């Protein structure tokens, strides 16, 4: 079965940890991480053009992987309709099953995690205001599995995803 696992969440929700857990547990998986592309383009600051280019690269990469029938785990933000819609459209066009996941911890948890966060290839910090903005702009997509990543371990969330159930089921 050709699958796209679409992992969404605000900044510091635990997306990267979940992506790595799924990489360990799903055979033949390829990762598409929009933030990695953004950091490769410019690690000194954020900009609209950098976000747009990273999305173009991510979608191109995902489509090419789909041509090779790869299982894909995509790490995207929960406030970007463009990212979500782009990946879903690419999957539908190539007859991929889309498993949508939203990590939705409380804002206080994201803010706390942001204080502890260290990304080696980034030379700027994310303010609490930026974290709060992304958290407040998170939306739920229809049919998505939703998890509070502050009350479940990454392993438990991965178990639930692979079993096809949400913590809200």
- Domains in the chain, start-ordered, CATH in brackets? 3-163 (3.40.50.300)
How many Cα atoms are found within 13 Å in the side-chain-facing hemisphere of 110? 24
Instruction: Kindly report, residue by residue over 49-73, the tens digit of the pLDDT.
Output: 988 999 999 999 999 999 999 999 9
Mean pLDDT of 102-123: 81
Between CA 169 and CA 166 the distance in angstroms is: 5
How would you list the strands of the sheet with 97-103, edge to edge?
29-33, 71-77, 3-9, 97-103, 145-147
Distances (CA, A) of 105 to 13, 77, 88, 112, 161: 6, 14, 23, 11, 16
Instruction: Kindly report, residue by residue over 10-27, the tens digit of the pLDDT.
Output: 989 999 999 999 999 999
Instruction: Kindly report, residue by residue over 142-155, the tens digit of the pLDDT.
Output: 999 999 999 999 99
pTM of the model: 0.90
Cross-strand pairs, 33: 75
């Amino acid at each position: 079965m050709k699958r796209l696992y679409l992992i969404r969440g605000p900044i510091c929700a635990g997306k990267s940890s979940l992506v790595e857990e799924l990489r360990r547990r799903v055979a033949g998986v390829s990762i598409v991480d929009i933030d990695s592309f953004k950091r490769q383009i410019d690690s000194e600051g954020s900009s609209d053009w950098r976000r747009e280019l990273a999305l173009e690269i991510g979608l191109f990469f995902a489509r090419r992987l789909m041509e090779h029938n790869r299982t894909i785990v995509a790490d995207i933000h929960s406030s970007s309709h463009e990212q979500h819609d782009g990946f879903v459209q690419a999957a539908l066009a190539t007859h991929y099953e889309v498993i949508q996941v939203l990590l939705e911890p409380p804002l206080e948890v994201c803010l706390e995690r942001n204080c502890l966060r260290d990304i080696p290839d980034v030379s700027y910090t994310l303010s609490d205001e930026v974290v709060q903005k992304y958290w407040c702009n998170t939306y739920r997509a229809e049919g998505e599995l939703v998890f509070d990543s502050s009350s479940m371990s990454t392993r438990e969330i991965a178990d639930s995803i692979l079993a096809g159930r949400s913590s809200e089921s």
